[in-house]
């Protein structure tokens, strides 16, 4: 089974077809594995740095607020009790690692599944894409592809400084290196623009050894 997508020459504004590797872009998507990959991607993005102070960590509260008996009030041993304002936190969050692991073969399967399920969204950009770093250059490309009003455009591109600077200020464009492309990036986009050199990187990542 062959799969072809549109290829856009940004220099001449011409359209043509390009054939993609069917072993990567034309596989039966495994939805369950894609879900696991999305959960893993979100979990690995969490910093896990939030922290609260327990009763023993809050500063002060060493002196007993009032004597044990005879005041008519409830017993209190510390003004840093979790029941008091300014006291410690009961079962509050502490720094932790949310990172999830996934076998290499399963990661490859998830990427193949995502690339195959979203291949209809893809357009390949050829050449240097833009000649300068100005934002207007990439805006013209989006307008030429009728993508000016598309809310979520994913740009998968390698070390092309002009293209990265040109698209970097556009709020509807997300730029990702092909080495870092995740399943969620693919499924959460309305249109996917690929540089020609990024295709080989994605095939290398997604192919079975």
The confidence score (pLDDT) of residue 9 equals: 87
Domain residue spans in the chain? 3-46+99-206, 49-97
What b/e string do you get for 117-154 counting C-beta neighbours within 10 Å, with b at 16 or more?
Answer: bbbebbbbbbeebbeeeeeebbbbbbeebebeeeeebb
- List, for the chain, all residue ranges whose pLDDT scores fall below the cut of 50: none
The confidence score (pLDDT) of residue 128 equals: 82
Per-residue H/E/C for the chain: CCEEEEEEECCCCEEEEEEECHHHHCCCCCHHHHHHHHHHHHHHHCCCCCCCCCCCCCCCCCCCCCCCCCCCCCCCCCCCCCCCCCCCCCCCCCCCCCCCCCCHHHHHHHHHHHHHHCHHHEEEEECCCCCCCCHHHHHHHHHHCCCCCCCCEEEECCCCHHHHHHHHCCCCEEEECCCCCCHHHHHCCCEEEEEHHHHHHHHHHHCCC
The confidence score (pLDDT) of residue 1 equals: 66
The confidence score (pLDDT) of residue 126 equals: 86
The confidence score (pLDDT) of residue 159 equals: 87
The confidence score (pLDDT) of residue 84 equals: 93
**Does 3-46+99-206 carry CATH code 2.40.10.340?**
no
Residue where the block lists tokens 């609260």:
52
């Amino acid at each position: 089974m062959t799969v072809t997508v549109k290829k856009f020459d940004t220099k001449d504004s011409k359209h043509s077809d390009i054939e993609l590797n069917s072993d990567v872009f034309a596989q039966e998507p495994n939805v369950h594995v894609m879900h696991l990959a999305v959960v893993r991607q979100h979990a690995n993005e969490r910093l896990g740095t939030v922290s609260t102070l327990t009763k023993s960590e809050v500063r002060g509260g060493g002196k007993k607020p009032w004597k044990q008996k005879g005041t008519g009030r409830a017993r209190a041993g510390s003004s840093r009790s979790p029941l008091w304002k300014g006291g410690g936190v009961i079962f509050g969050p502490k720094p932790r690692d949310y990172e999830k692991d996934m076998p290499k073969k399963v990661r490859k399967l998830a990427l193949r599944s995502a690339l195959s399920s979203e291949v209809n969204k893809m357009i390949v950009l050829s050449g240097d894409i833009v000649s300068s770093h100005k934002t207007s250059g990439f805006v013209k490309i989006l307008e030429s592809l009728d993508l000016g009003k598309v809310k979520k455009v994913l740009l998968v591109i390698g070390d092309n400084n002009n293209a990265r600077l040109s698209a970097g200020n556009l709020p509807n464009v997300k730029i990702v290196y092909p080495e870092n492309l995740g399943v969620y990036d693919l499924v959460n986009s309305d249109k996917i623009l690929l540089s020609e050199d990024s295709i080989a990187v994605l095939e290398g990542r997604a192919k079975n050894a």
